[in-house]
Structure 1
Amino acid sequence: MHSAILQPVVVLIAWTLVMLVWMLITRLPAMSASGVDLGQLRGTKPADADQGLPAKVQWKAHNYNHLHEQPVLFYAVALVIAFTGTGDGINAWIAWAYVGLRIGHSVWQATVNQVSVRFALFLLASLALVALTLHAAMAVF
């Protein structure tokens, strides 16, 4: 089965891996510079790193975590749309908009992190997700 909506799904997965690498190449040196010994860490929470590492380093980690939250719904709804044969046309375009907005959100959060712009990107992406969800509902009900 080929569905155009699967292309943005793969791109967002690939982008999540890009953010993983970006996080690692900035966070590991910062941890070393801060005297953090990974071999000595036990039972830490993400908030613990916020206290010991520079904010700009943590922004990448925060975004990587964000890419495992709402995008999970995107993956699910995109698969529903693909399985129902409605993943081309407008749904593919909305999915590309969602992915573009999420990538923009990532770059913004990882570099500038001004919350008002970040929130606007998140809100627009959320609206795209709502539209995809409505289209998926129309296809299955």
Structure 2
Amino acid sequence: MNETMIAPVMALVGWSLLIWLWMYVQRIPAMQKAGIKPQDARFPGSLNALPDGARQAADNYNHLMEQPTIFYAAALAIQVAGHADGMAVHLAWVYVVARVLHSLVQVSVNLVAVRFLLFLVSTGVLAAMVVRELVKVFG
């Protein structure tokens, strides 16, 4: 079987776009209900008056624009280097699953302890991917 890092990368990109859509499904009606005009939202923090659900979706979308950028770079570097073996692909999928679970927790019950545990898991998996590749490249 030809191992590829493209599928987990694209899965997380697709998930990020679903969260983007969820953010606006939550945010636009909440802004309308609160009487907030789009131009009023031009400064950071101006939407803090919105209900938790709308804020949680936006916060999660922002989170998906942060650490996963390292995942994208690492996964694609592993692919380009020709090192996308079964373990690399497995680690990439575990990372994606952890990030999806993190999203689901944040946009629903938003339990910080659970979110933090999932963040630690995803960070550990990402670190394992990177260290493993560094050993291959420099070892």
Where on the TM-score scale, by shorter chain, does this alignment land: which range?
Answer: over 0.9
Alpha-carbon separation, structure 2, partners of 1:26 and 1:133: 35
Identity %: 39
Alignment partners' CA distance in 1, 2:25 and 2:123: 29
Please tell me the residue identity of whatever aligns with 2:83: T
Paired AA for residue 46 in structure 2: D
The one-letter code matched in structure 2 to 1:132 is M
Q: 1:103 aligns with which of 100, 104, 124?
A: 100
Contact 2:30 2:50 in 1 (8 A): yes
CA gap 1:83/1:115 in 2 versus in 1, 3 angstroms = same
Backbone CA RMSD of aligned residues:
1.2
Aligned to 2:71: 74
CA–CA distance in 2 between the matches of 1:88 and 1:62?
Answer: 34
Count of aligned residue pairs for this structure pair: 137
Quickly say closer, same or farther: Cα 1:73–1:113, change in 2 above 3 A.
same
CA contact under 8 A between 2:4 and 2:89: conserved in structure 1?
yes
1:108 deviates by: 0.5
Could you tell me which residue of structure 2 aligns to residue 35 of structure 1?
A: 35
Query: How much has 1:41 moved relative to structure 2?
Result: 2.4
Partner of 1:85: 82
Structure 2's unaligned 5+ residue stretches are none
Quick check: 1:101–1:121 contact (8 Å CA) kept in 2?
Answer: yes
Any idea what the Cα deviations from partners look like across 1:12-54, whole Å, max 9, x if unmatched? 000000000000111100000000111x426411x2211x101
User: Structure 1 residues 122 and 42 mapped into 2: Cα distance closer, same or farther (>3 Å)?
Assistant: closer
Return the letter of the residue paired with 1:48.
Answer: S
Residues 1-141 of structure 1: pairs in structure 2 closer than 5 A: 3-38=3-38, 40-41=39-40, 43-45=42-44, 47-50=45-48, 52-141=49-138
* Alpha-carbon spacing, 1:42–1:115, altered in 2? closer, same or farther (3 Å): closer
TM-score by length of 1: 0.93
Moved beyond 2 Å, runs of 4+: 40-43
Q: What secondary structure, in the 3-state scheme, does the structure 2 residue paired with 1:53 have?
A: coil
